[in-house]
């Protein structure tokens, strides 16, 4: 028995692996994929079909995605109600995804759901910022539309490339908490929206995807108030608090995703005059390694990237969801094919042999 299923192999998958500290998607190491500089459509296709796409398949996927980036008026009216307060965007996303069922009672295709989730995420951000919801660019990839639908501006080629790389590294991670949640839910033979709603609920937690928001808030506080990171960290660790963006259940020496993100964080920080975020991050990384032997995870440098791209801390986890949705959809499909209910056993540690008579006598 281990707490938190540490080290337990809970099922089989062909979608991704983290064996020996290397992250691979359907056989391809992410470093190799990153070198190809694929757009996110390639990553989606790989996760959903377990092979790389042909040129025509890629074009078709892109068309299907853009075609589906639309929400009907009745749904939009409800979304506006949900997003009246610019608070708790992940809770709003959770509710909004669960509501998607009202516009498509039967399960949509993975492509259509991925597209709808993106338009919902960008709509939540726009509504919070008091802006109108935009329609997607017709001939643009998913990453371009993600940035365009938020900012209203077509991103620079370098921003588009970096966003595609960010989406790539967040797309899947074998049996992480939200994906496992999606699989447990799918194993009951329920619908896709229910699986995604459950997955979003798990991703939102600060020990999982919600950590990137906390990293953003920490860096904002340190850079705005010019607080020395070491003093801040000493205080937090003394109080027994965890430092968000550090530590990982699987990776103990380095997180392969973080390595890719760190160089883009530096590049964007230099370009956008946010070097204070990057330099503060470097100081935190050094201290955490020296004091605790803890490594930065995917949520650490992604925070600086999102900040440099113009996002606010409470929007960061939405961006994570825009990518991980592809992984969830792949795992939901695979779990359905395996057609087995996930239902482990537990070790009972409560009392036994309590006498009802004793209870009644005390009433």
193 or 246: CB nearest ligand ACO:
246
Identify the active-site residue in 208, 248, 307, 331.
Answer: 248
> Does 299 participate in binding ligand ACO (rule CB under 6 A)?
yes
304 binds ligand ACO (CB under 6 A): no
CB of 2 or CB of 340, closer to ligand ACO? 2
Q: What is the closest distance, in whole angstroms, from the C-beta atom of residue 203 to ligand ACO in the complex?
A: 8
Q: Which is nearer to ligand ACO, 79 or 182 (CB)?
A: 182
The helix or strand, by DSSP H or E, that contains position 36, with its residue range, turns out to be helix 30-36
- ∠ CA 219-31-179, nearest 5°, is 70
R_g (Cα) of the chain, nearest Å? 21
Q: Which CB sits closer to ligand ACO, 16 or 68?
A: 16
Q: How far apart are the first and last CA of the chain?
A: 38
The answer to the question of residue 219 lying near ligand ACO (CB under 6 A) is no
Contact pick of 52, 217, 282, 294 for ligand ACO (by CB under 6 A): 294
Q: Measured between alpha carbons, how far is 19 from 298 in angstroms, rounded to an integer? A: 17
Output the smallest distance, CB 301 to ligand ACO, in A: 12
Q: How far is CA 28 from CA 22, 36, 326, in A?
A: 10, 11, 16
Chain centre to alpha carbon of residue 84: 24
How many Cβ atoms sit within 10 Å of the Cβ of residue 361?
8
Interaction of residue 211 with ligand ACO, rule CB under 6 A: yes
Interacting stretch for ligand ACO, rule CB under 6 A, among 111-119, 134-142, 258-266, 290-298?
Answer: 290-298
Contact mark string toward ligand ACO, 224..243, x via CB under 6 A: ------------------xx
279-303 burial: b if 16+ Cβ within 10 Å, else e: ebbbebbebbeeeeebbbbbbbbbb
Q: In angstroms, what is the minimal distance from the CB of 125 to ligand ACO?
A: 20
Pick out residues in 245-264 that bind ligand ACO (CB under 6 A).
245-249
Alpha-carbon torsion 155, 156, 161, 162, what sign? negative
The string of DSSP codes covering 79-91 is HHHHTSSS--HHH
Find the binder of ligand ACO among 13, 92, 122, 297 (CB under 6 A). Answer: 297
Q: Which is nearer to ligand ACO, 19 or 337 (CB)?
A: 19
How many Cα atoms within 13 Å fall on the side-chain side of residue 192?
26
- One symbol per residue from 2 to 21: x for binding ligand ACO (CB under 6 A), - otherwise; what is it? --x-----------------
| Cα(288)–Cα(111) distance, integer angstroms | 40
Residue with tokens 């759901």: 113
Q: How many residues make contact with ligand ACO (CB under 6 A)?
A: 19
Interaction between residue 209 and ligand ACO (CB under 6 A)? yes
Mention every residue, 6+ apart, whose C-beta is less than 8 A from residue 316: 212, 213, 215, 216, 302, 303, 306
Shortest approach of ligand ACO to residue 299 CB, angstroms?
5
Q: Which is nearer to ligand ACO, 128 or 173 (CB)?
A: 173
22 lines the binding site for ligand ACO (CB under 6 A): no
Q: Smallest distance, Å, CB 327 to ligand ACO?
A: 11
Residues 54 and 120: their CA atoms lie apart, in Å, by: 29
Residue from the set 298, 313, 329, 332 that interacts with ligand ACO by CB under 6 A: 298
Which segment (133-141, 201-209, 219-227, 272-280) binds ligand ACO by CB under 6 A? 201-209
Question: Does 207 interact with ligand ACO (rule: CB under 6 A)?
Answer: yes
The answer to whether 270 and 251 are in contact (CB under 8 A) is: no
Based on the residue annotation, tell me whether 299 is a catalytic residue of this protein: yes
CA distance 311 to 91: 18
Catalytic residue among 141, 172, 299, 314: 299
CA distances from 257 to 226, 242, 291, 300 (A): 28, 21, 23, 10
Positions that interact with ligand ACO (CB under 6 A)? 4, 176, 207-209, 211, 242-249, 292, 294, 297-299
Catalytic residue ranges: 248, 299
């Amino acid at each position: 028995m281990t707490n938190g299923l540490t080290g337990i192999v809970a099922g089989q998958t062909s979608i991704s692996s983290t064996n020996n500290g290397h992250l691979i998607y359907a056989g391809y190491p992410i470093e190799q994929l990153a070198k190809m500089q694929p757009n996110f459509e390639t990553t989606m296709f790989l996760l959903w079909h377990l092979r790389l796409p042909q040129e025509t398949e890629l074009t078709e996927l892109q068309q299907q995605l853009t075609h589906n980036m639309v929400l009907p008026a009745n749904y939009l009216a409800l979304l506006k109600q949900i997003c009246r307060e610019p608070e708790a965007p992940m809770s709003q996303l959770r509710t909004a995804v669960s509501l998607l069922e009202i516009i498509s009672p039967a399960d949509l295709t993975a492509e259509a759901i991925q597209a709808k989730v993106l338009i919902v995420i960008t709509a939540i951000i726009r509504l919070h910022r008091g802006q109108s919801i935009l329609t997607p660019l017709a001939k643009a990839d998913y990453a371009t539309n993600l940035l365009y639908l938020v900012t209203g501006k077509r991103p620079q080629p370098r921003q588009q490339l970096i966003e595609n790389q960010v989406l790539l590294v967040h797309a899947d991670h074998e049996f992480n908490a939200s994906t496992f949640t999606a699989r447990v839910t799918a194993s009951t033979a329920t619908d896709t929206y229910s699986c995604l709603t459950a997955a979003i609920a798990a991703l939102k937690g600060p020990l999982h995807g919600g950590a990137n928001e906390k990293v953003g808030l920490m860096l904002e506080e340190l850079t705005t108030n010019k607080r020395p990171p070491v003093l801040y960290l000493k205080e937090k660790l003394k109080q027994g608090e965890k430092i968000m963006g550090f530590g990982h259940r699987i990776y103990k020496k380095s997180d392969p995703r973080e390595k890719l993100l760190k160089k883009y964080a530096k590049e964007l920080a230099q370009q956008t005059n946010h070097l204070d975020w990057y330099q503060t991050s470097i100081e935190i990384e050094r201290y955490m390694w020296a004091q605790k032997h803890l490594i930065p995870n995917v949520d650490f440098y992604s925070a600086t990237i999102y900040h440099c791209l113009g996002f606010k801390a409470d929007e960061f986890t939405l961006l994570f969801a825009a990518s991980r949705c592809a992984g969830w959809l792949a795992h939901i499909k695979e779990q359905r094919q395996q057609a087995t209910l996930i239902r482990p056993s537990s070790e009972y540690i409560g009392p036994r042999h309590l006498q009802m008579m004793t209870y009644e006598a005390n009433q």
